[in-house]
Chain A
């Protein structure tokens, strides 16, 4: 039984997900994440880690259990999921930038259309974010004119422009050429330093070790281990985790 802590910004309880084809993707996953915490989820492919992440902004619905984001029950009767998603930014493996808009307009679109903020304020904010992710020079380029690493940084800026309380990262560096991984991780690290609550699904063990406050290990839809990076990597007790780490490290 998890204690309901006021500091917990994400509380997932007994989350179960069964696809219509019978695939049992998540089995009673429970996790709480505190405000400002950086949580990294690792595990072999098909372990349900991306599915779990996607349930946190309801890109995947759950079969049973409950998810509470910032005191709001995601499946409550009066919950407006669009309102909730405004505060939960998401970064995808395949960037998913809008190809028909320039980088700057990718960043500005949601604040203008969804939050109805003033254009001048949004543009100023978007320009500042583009500068922050190191792309002040490429603001007017279309996504197709940017490298993978640059596209992913635009995607991060796009999510940040909604002023989210939580950022979800779904394997943000998996589709990148190796030499571009660093630039994206650097942006994520600076974000972590600023105190952003982050949930990161990744295969970058280095990032997990360096930045994470906590590391979660999932396999076959189950959350097996939840530990500090130090204990997780240097003193793993779970036999399945030991095997996994011996293969990836």
Chain B
């Protein structure tokens, strides 16, 4: 009988290696006298500090009898400003106020710049993913077209895009195409990422379609379907399932590649991280946090695609 490997032992070895690695990281930071201060990062994720409400003009404060509304009446005339839902009030009824005075504080949660950057990263990734899939699908289909002109155009597209660095493409999109078509930063960033990813998606689509046995197309055509009907109803649904694992990899790359758009001054997660580092002087904590947030996004995507794969495996 074959000897069964000791699962417990190797699980233990795995944990030991991970723990040793983490302690090495910690020890080396101690070695350079780095003071870990995770607290400093938190306000840049979620800001729970009470915000002060300041008077927008010179005038008089009026506090309602139940202490729930504060009305600021301007001296110069005009609409009074009403403040509600404050946590603390710093003026009394009838007080004179001057522009810029703190009249009350509001305690509400605000998202910090890192979280804002993460949202921007998500927006850019999602928008470019949708366009990349659409462009990639058509380029992939054109890549196997029987029409020589279409086929060669698609091959040229794929070769040019795959043969040049994304960073250079982003610059070209922003400074050349963006100027010609007067695109804003966000559009230029999304466009360059979509065009870049589409070239890879196209190759995945092509290999997916070519992995379907030719008998499937023949069967569909023999039933009277047109080429397009056969593609839509028979070939692409099957190819879709097979391309999910490589697509997942490509989409994860897309999320990570989106960090490059920070070079055209889009405040994505990476750029937000850089800004926060210069404000906090806590580079280790910030960059670890940024890395963790990328990992959360890619991990969630990877999990969703795995889930989809399992669902589609019903017919296997």
Question: Which A residues form the contact surface with B (CB < 8 A)?
Answer: 57, 59, 82-83, 85-86, 88-90, 92, 94, 96-102, 109-110, 113-115, 142-144, 155, 158-159, 162
Let me know if A92 and B219 touch, CB within 8 A. Answer: yes
Taking CB atoms, residues of chain B closer than 8 Å to A92 are 215, 218-219
Chain B, range 200-243, C-beta contacts under 8 Å to A: 213, 215-216, 218-226, 229, 233-234, 237-238, 241
Q: Which of B224, B314, B316 contacts A82 (CB 8 A)?
A: B224
Let me know if B223 and A98 touch, CB within 8 A. Answer: no
Chain B min CB distance to A78 (Å): 16
CB contact under 8 A between A100 and B225, given known A92-B219, A109-B233, A142-B314: no
Can you pick out 12 interface pairs between chain A and chain B where the beta carbons lie within 8 Å of each other?
A59-B222, A88-B222, A90-B222, A92-B218, A97-B219, A98-B234, A98-B238, A99-B238, A110-B220, A113-B225, A114-B229, A144-B316
B164 close to A (CB within 8 Å): no
Taking CB atoms, residues of chain A closer than 8 Å to B64 are none
Among B222, B225, B233, B316, the one with the most A-chain Cβ atoms within 10 Å of its Cβ is B222
Let me know if A96 and B216 touch, CB within 8 A. Answer: yes
Taking CB atoms, residues of chain B closer than 8 Å to A85 are 221-224
**A187 vs B46: C-alpha distance in the bound complex, in angstroms?**
70
**A225 vs B219: C-alpha distance in the bound complex, in angstroms?**
30
Chain B min CB distance to A23 (Å): 18
Q: Which of A96, A109, A113, A115 contacts B218 (CB 8 A)?
A: A96
Q: Which of B219, B224, B241, B314 contacts A96 (CB 8 A)?
A: B219
Taking CB atoms, residues of chain B closer than 8 Å to A110 are 220, 223-225
CB contact under 8 A between A98 and B224, given known A109-B233, A113-B233, A144-B316: no
**A88 vs B215: C-alpha distance in the bound complex, in angstroms?**
17
B7 close to A (CB within 8 Å): no
Taking CB atoms, residues of chain B closer than 8 Å to A159 are 222-223
Taking CB atoms, residues of chain A closer than 8 Å to B35 are none
B37 close to A (CB within 8 Å): no
Chain B min CB distance to A66 (Å): 21
> Apart from A90-B219, A94-B213, A109-B234, what are 4 other A-B pairs with CB-CB below 8 Å?
A98-B219, A100-B241, A113-B229, A113-B233
Chain A min CB distance to B153 (Å): 24
Taking CB atoms, residues of chain A closer than 8 Å to B224 are 82-83, 85-86, 110, 114-115, 162
B315 close to A (CB within 8 Å): yes
Let me know if B218 and A100 touch, CB within 8 A. Answer: no
CB contact under 8 A between A100 and B238, given known A86-B224, A114-B223, A142-B315: yes
**A155 vs B241: C-alpha distance in the bound complex, in angstroms?**
23
Taking CB atoms, residues of chain B closer than 8 Å to A115 are 224
**A143 vs B225: C-alpha distance in the bound complex, in angstroms?**
20
Taking CB atoms, residues of chain A closer than 8 Å to B233 are 109, 113
Chain B min CB distance to A217 (Å): 25
Taking CB atoms, residues of chain B closer than 8 Å to A113 are 225, 229, 233
Chain A min CB distance to B300 (Å): 27
Chain B min CB distance to A231 (Å): 32
**A114 vs B234: C-alpha distance in the bound complex, in angstroms?**
13
Residue of A nearest to B224 (CB): A86
Let me know if B223 and A99 touch, CB within 8 A. Answer: no
Query: What 3 A-B pairs have minimum CB-CB distances, sorted nearest first?
Result: A86-B224, A96-B219, A110-B223
**A98 vs B221: C-alpha distance in the bound complex, in angstroms?**
12
Let me know if A82 and B222 touch, CB within 8 A. Answer: no
Let me know if B225 and A144 touch, CB within 8 A. Answer: no
**A47 vs B226: C-alpha distance in the bound complex, in angstroms?**
30
**A5 vs B9: C-alpha distance in the bound complex, in angstroms?**
83
Let me know if B237 and A100 touch, CB within 8 A. Answer: yes
